[in-house]
Structure 1
Amino acid sequence: MGSMYVDDHRFWRYPRGGGAGKDITQWVGAPESRDELEALSVELTFTALRNHLYDPYMPWPGLEPGDKLKVVNHGAEIFAGVVLSVGLDGSVTANDMGWYLTKSQIILQVSNAAAEDAIRQMCAKAGIPVGRLPSLPTRISEIWTGDTPEAILQDILSICAAETGKQYKRRVRGGALEVTELPEVPLAAYHKPADNLAAFDITLAKGTVSGSDSMTDLYNSVVLTSGGREAAVLGRGDNRASRDQYGLLQMVERLSGDENSAQARQRIRTLLDQHDRLTIERQVDELWGADEVESGVLLRFQANQFGVTGDQRVVSVTHRYGPTHLMSVTVQDPNQGRAAGGEDSVEV
């Protein structure tokens, strides 16, 4: 925990063919990790000193695509992944093991299966163990041909979110796929800058705040259709006040065929509640770093004039593991209101 010690991030390289790891921290410059809530894997970049191309006396740790990388802090694993590319200038890009689920393609057919069972079937096809899964009783009937496990998982969780109103995060940890509900309790994140200084709450000292308000992801009308070739319309819903203010922005959702009318009606209401909202994001730069801050967590900010107040959901975080551990976060208010007033009109 960041409140217990001063950060000491160490970088370890493991060769493709196996063998002992090597601490390459001394070769690593300007390391950053980028964690996006909507992404399945975390990206790590840095520049490795590679002057040996011009100076034969300059050593080189031998990084190559396919090598395994780990980042540890006082024995705690912060990142574990694979090197994807190495530039002549020493630039290195690596991703955690979730990257493999974004590349390989599989064929999967499920019929009236609980969503959690559909995920297990997907993992079996993809050759990856299943870790923690929440209860996902939503029924799934679908065929995927040549889709990536990431795309399939996103489809399944989108259907679950439309029914339950909950948000989910997916990651590969310890070699297994985990799906978790986003936390509702804010994280107390601390940073200890030096051995002789006490740890402090990182939200008390923040740098530049920027951001935007956008309607690009807003939908104020929902159409439910049946599966198959006919694609019959089974239900509609919209918010007239939002349509009058922002124009018609319609999304089409296809049902699997296992839902009753009450479930269809609830899905329309849930989709409108989720998507009939402006995207209001704020980026907070130059926060002191804390390894516990990852996408999906809630941070509690004191009142300020930039709208970054109270519990804020971290949707993106960049950690910079330099001599000083700093980070930038992009946050959204999880309790943000609807785009416009008025009642939702639903017909099934």
Structure 2
Amino acid sequence: MFVRCDYSAAHRWSLRAQRLLTRYTPVKITVEVVRACGKACVVKRRFGAAGLVVRHAVGLARAAFRHAAPALRRRAAGLRLLPAQHRLHHAQRGPLGTLRNVFGRSSLHVATAQEDLAYALYVLEYSSGRFYKARDHAERAIHIIENLVPPDHLLLASAKRVKALILEEIALDTPAGQDMSEPSLLEESEALHKAALSLSMMAFGEKNVQTAKHYGNLGRLYQSMQKFQDAETMHLKAIAIKEELLGPEDYEVGLSIGHLASLYNYHMNMHVAAETLYLRSISISLKLFGERYSGLEYDYRGLVNVFTQLKRHDRADHYTRLLTRWHELREQSKAEQQQPAIGNEQIVPLEQLHEKLFGTND
């Protein structure tokens, strides 16, 4: 259910599995069930519950195995949507070595960990532009998977998507004329995104959130390639599929709307249309996450540009003030956050974990 992006069903099944755990369940199974429950809680935006069960899984794995390979291998992937992205990298480096020791260097477990680490590094280094370690891990993941499964296996779709995202950023940061020039990297990224889209279409069909995400990735890539009509087509497809499956006010819909707004705003001079989309994206974000949500920055900046181009300077000033206020709120959030350090996870009795998990309403 998780792979199919049916997150409500994935969450329900994970809770059913969680309820079946007892003190006599083997530790390995308990860790995996608790970890999967945490991952499902993340995509359902139940961040408090996610943090609770993931910390429990890590602590249990540390106590039982000395190394938290089964829990930590996915910890970063499970908490991608949470703040403090720098924790992703540190949460995965150790488990990768442990997995290699247990399963060997050419294992699907290792390949999955390599992919997770590649994505974590991609997020971590997004502002710095240092993507070469991320690229190396993504390529290793693809190499392992290609040697172990058929060429049309769905596992390749995710790994290729990660590599494509990384190549796109490298291309945009690479001066033209170097050996790895921008066009060749972008073309390779396009081929990877199309391959991932094809695999998703084969597995799920077009009317699936995963397929819609691949359309959206292609849309962003075509913006980078200055193929603006193609980019618009991809974004519109992504929005239509997500709206049909998830409803008009889902997080995924807001994400795609924001990408289309950016295309209209910065590349196609469709500022009135961009304004409408930005306002809708902001409405979804405020409703789901509140006024401190990180994604609001891009929408506020976009509206400042929209109204500057439309010479509506009073509105531009309004969103400049909102952007300033957003920065202040984010700084407050950083000061208020008290994230537990990795390695200090505590194990609570299973009954107490269940009470906290099924009693939480966050």
Larger Rg: 1
Higher RCO structure (Cα 8 Å, ≥6 apart): 1
**TM-score scaled to structure 1, two decimals?**
0.28
Greater share of residues in helix: 2
**TM-score scaled to structure 2, two decimals?**
0.27
